[in-house]
Amino acid sequence: MIIAGKWVLPITSPPIADGAVLVENGAIKALGSKEELILKFPHEKLMDFKEALILPGFVDAHTHLEYSPFRGVVADLPFWKWKLEITKLSFSLDEEDWECSAELGLMEAVRAGITALGDITKSGASLRAAVKAGLRGCIFAEVSGMDHRQTENLMKEMIKRLDNWRNESKNSLISLGVSPYSVYNSCPLLLKEVAEFSRQENLLFAIHLAGSRQEYDFVKYGSGPLAHQYRDLMGWGEFLWQPTGVSPVRYVENWQVLAPNTVAIHCVQVSEEDIDILRRYEVRIVHCPRTSSKLGMGITPLWSFIRKGFVTGLGTDSPASNYTNDFFDEMRVSLLLQRGLSARVEALSAEKFVEMATLGGAQVLGLDDKVGSLEIGKRADIIAVDISEAHEAFGRDPYSLLVYWANQENVMMTMVDGKILYREGNFYSLDSEGIISKTRKVKKKLLDS
């Protein structure tokens, strides 16, 4: 099959005008001009998207797909109040609710051109939805608890879940990781044990780190709503938390959490010293600009991470916090915020943010040997983005068109491993009408709560 468009964006090499990609047995076999590939492979089926950009699928390096129906239920609150309300509402959902909620998130991700993801889940619903839909990615088993006496039991339960998930994801495109969620809901012994386990088992280790001022105050000073209201809500009020006097980054370093397999999510409330610590351990960073902005968490000093050579990807963090899975918005908002914050344009180009949305995310999740760029031998995770309505704006820089103009409604086709999952309004691995019908019931339950 030959996939052609106005531009092909390989990411690791210059754009190809009037380009095409040859896909065979789920892999990329050739790239070049449309004319060249048609002449060379005359018997291949041609899928010509005409006025479209052809590029690698987006890699959502951090999300919680099973929280998709929470969109709009909790609105316009600061992070800590939002966290409290979301946590309370989550108690009202049962296993079936989480399953269809994750399917809704998967459907919206596929529609938005997301072909791989890093999802943190306790229920495993997003794993089953991703396997069913045929998406690629890493699903992280969430574990949390502030009672150090329960660490052994929590570890056994997590390992059992991982064993079950391996069976459920056998022969799929999904790998597994572990995540002790955050420093404000996991005791230090649990953080250390999960980190050591991840290194022994060669698994990725994800943690929400230095995301908000409330987290910073909790760790360093033992104060704020996360030290009181949140702990009371979770039933952890009896466990004493002593102020550590250090930043969240320094705190997790002291407990031997940081390593090259660590995926640190957010990293908003960090100093240059913190960034240097993360760089020393070769930590991978996931930047979630819309969530951190919408919840008033602050703005990640992304320029420092880029300048110091971090592996960096983008994440949506789920529609519960930012309403959509639109990766175009994620790139656009991030680029504009960072230019305003740093007062510089150089090194903060549209091309750089498209790279973070594709290859960067793949590197974060350890998938860059397979996807993230269009290269011969890599798997065919490809999307087509319609630019016909941009009219005279084609110009010479398709990256700028992608970031500054396009949105998820322009995604014409989403392909994973050579299989088309979505094309021009049609889903091929998901029952979109059934999913929407089922999640209406979940939404009502949340609103009634």
pLDDT digits over 400-421, tens only? 999 999 999 999 999 999 999 9
Q: What is the DSSP string of 19-75?
A: EEEEEETTEEEEEEEHHHHHHH-TTSPEEE-SSEEEEEPEEEEEE-GGGGGGTTTS-
pLDDT at 395 over 70: no
Dihedral class, residue 145 (left if φ above 0, else alpha if ψ from -120 to 50, else beta): left
How would residue 433 be classed by pLDDT, with cut points 50, 70 and 90? very high
Q: Are 9 and 398 in contact (CB under 8 A)?
A: yes
Mean pLDDT of 194-218: 97
Superfamily (CATH H level) for 58-364: Metal-dependent hydrolases (3.20.20.140)
- 247 pLDDT exceeds 80? yes
Give the mean model confidence (pLDDT) for residues 325-354: 92
Listed in sequence order, the residues at least 6 apart from 39 whose beta carbon sits closer than 8 Å to its beta carbon are: none
Kindly report the length of the chain.
449
pLDDT of residue 89 exceeding 80, the answer is yes
Query: Is 9:387 a contact under the CB 8 Å cutoff?
Result: no
- Break the chain into its structural domains and give their ranges: 2-56+379-432, 58-364
Tokens of 208: 């929400």
Q: Are strands 27-33 and 419-423 parallel, antiparallel or unpaired?
A: unpaired
Which helix (H) or strand (E) segment holds residue 249: the answer is: helix 248-254
In 210-270, the DSSP E strands lie at 262-266
How far is the C-alpha of 180 from the C-alpha of 205, rounded, in Å? 8
Q: Which of 155-169, 228-242, 434-448 has the lowest mean pLDDT?
A: 228-242
Tokens of 78: 């600061």
**pLDDT at residue 33, as a whole number:** 98
pLDDT in tens, 286-335: 999 999 999 999 999 999 999 999 999 999 998 899 889 999 999 999 99
Q: Token match 């809500």: residue?
A: 233
Q: Which amino acid belongs to residue 369?
A: D
CB 422 within 8 A of CB 413: yes
Domain topology for 2-56+379-432: Urease, subunit C; domain 1 (2.30.40)
* CA dist., res. 218 & res. 224, Å (int): 6
pLDDT confidence of residue 392: 59
Task: Report the 10 Å Cβ neighbour count for 25.
Answer: 9
Position 394 scores a pLDDT of 57
Q: How far apart are CA 171 and CA 187, in angstroms?
A: 35
Average pLDDT over residues 37-54: 97
> What does the block give as tokens for 354?
């498209």
- pLDDT of amino acid 75: 86
pLDDT: is 22 or 347 the higher one? Answer: 22
Task: Please check whether the two domains, 2-56+379-432 and 58-364, share a CATH topology.
Answer: no
Nearest to 406 by CA among 11, 55, 23, 39: 55
